[in-house]
């Protein structure tokens, strides 16, 4: 995933697209492997996009496809692929239906790299596009989420990852670590993570077991609770949610 935008790097805007996309992809059996945030700088976007698209099956970009001068994502994607931009007739038709003859700024939104296809926008404004293994979506979350619905079905996913959570209350990670590590070693195909919490409501850790084999994940939940109990961590129980 490539998040494009000065507003994320300045801290002005809290990115929520990454976590949404991560969860969405998960339901298609596609794992988010890396995320990068880069500024609105042509060469930076190209360099990051070329690194990511060479390495991963898919890349999703968010941000920078509006009509203003700082919306340079289409230029950068075209630059990364070494192709030109052209005004897509379908988008021009949409813009004309909405605005009459669109001004120069609005026409910018019709530009798609040669060889690209459109990604439907069911929310508001012009579509996104896809070229090669790259999907270019809007940055505004409600629009991005709408576009994503046209991305998921195009992805070739693997088996969906199952995640189950065992919550430990009143014991710190220092007490949990040993049984957790033993279980992680016994189940090399699973990923076991520990995410501590503490605050006015108490302290503890959420232990997340992730894997593609639902049976192994379920068995490991039981093994983990038993192992914690044997280690003197009595208050460990499964909770809903991933």
CB 138 within 8 A of CB 65: yes
Q: For residue 200, what are its two tokens?
A: 């006015």
Q: For residue 213, what are its two tokens?
A: 């084999």
Q: Residue 161 carries which DSSP code?
A: P
Binding mask 157-196 for its own copies (x = CB under 8 A): ----x-x---------xxxxxx-xx--x------xxxxxx
Q: Which phi and psi (to 5°) does residue 122 adopt? A: -85, 5
Least distance to its own copies, CB of residue 133, Å: 18
Q: For residue 7, what are its two tokens?
A: 């507003």
Site membership for its own copies, residue 108 (CB under 8 A): yes
Least distance to its own copies, CB of residue 115, Å: 26
What part of residues 11-30 is at the interface with its own copies (CB under 8 A)?
A: 11-16, 18-24, 26
* Residue 107 to residues 13, 68, 71, 139, Cα–Cα distance (Å): 26, 10, 12, 19
Site membership for its own copies, residue 8 (CB under 8 A): yes
Tokens 């192709």 -> residue = 83
Q: What is the DSSP string of 168-198?
A: EES--HHHHHHHHHHHHHH-TTSEEEEEEEE
What part of residues 199-218 is at the interface with its own copies (CB under 8 A)?
A: 199, 208, 210
Least distance to its own copies, CB of residue 154, Å: 20
Indicate which single residue of 105, 214, 226, 234 sits in contact with its own copies (rule: CB under 8 A): 105
Residues that bind its own copies (CB under 8 A): 6-16, 18-24, 26, 31-40, 44, 66-71, 99, 102-106, 108-109, 124, 140, 142, 161, 163, 173-178, 180-181, 184, 191-199, 208, 210, 242
């Amino acid at each position: 995933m490539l998040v494009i935008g000065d507003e994320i790097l300045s801290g002005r805007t809290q990115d929520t697209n990454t976590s949404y996309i991560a969860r969405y992809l998960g339901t298609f059996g596609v794992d988010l492997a890396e995320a990068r945030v880069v500024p609105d700088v042509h060469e930076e976007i190209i360099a990051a996009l070329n690194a990511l698209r060479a390495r991963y099956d898919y890349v999703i970009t968010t941000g920078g496809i509006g009509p203003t001068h700082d919306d340079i994502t289409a230029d950068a994607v075209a630059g990364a692929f070494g192709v030109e931009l052209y005004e897509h007739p379908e988008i021009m038709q949409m813009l004309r239906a909405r605005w009459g003859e669109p001004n120069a700024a609005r026409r910018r939104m019709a530009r798609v790299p040669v060889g690209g296809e459109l990604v439907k926008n069911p929310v508001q404004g012009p579509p996104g596009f896809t070229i090669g293994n790259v999907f270019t979506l809007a940055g505004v979350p409600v629009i991005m989420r709408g576009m994503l619905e046209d991305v998921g079905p195009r992805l070739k996913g693997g088996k969906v990852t199952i995640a189950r959570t065992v919550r430990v209350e009143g014991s710190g990670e220092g007490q949990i670590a040993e049984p957790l590590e033993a279980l992680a070693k016994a189940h090399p195909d699973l990923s076991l993570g520990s995410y501590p919490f503490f605050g006015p409501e108490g302290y503890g850790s959420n232990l997340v077991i992730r894997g593609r084999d639902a049976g192994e994940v379920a068995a490991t939940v039981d093994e983990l609770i038993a192992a914690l109990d044997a280690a003197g961590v009595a208050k460990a129980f499964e909770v809903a949610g991933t």
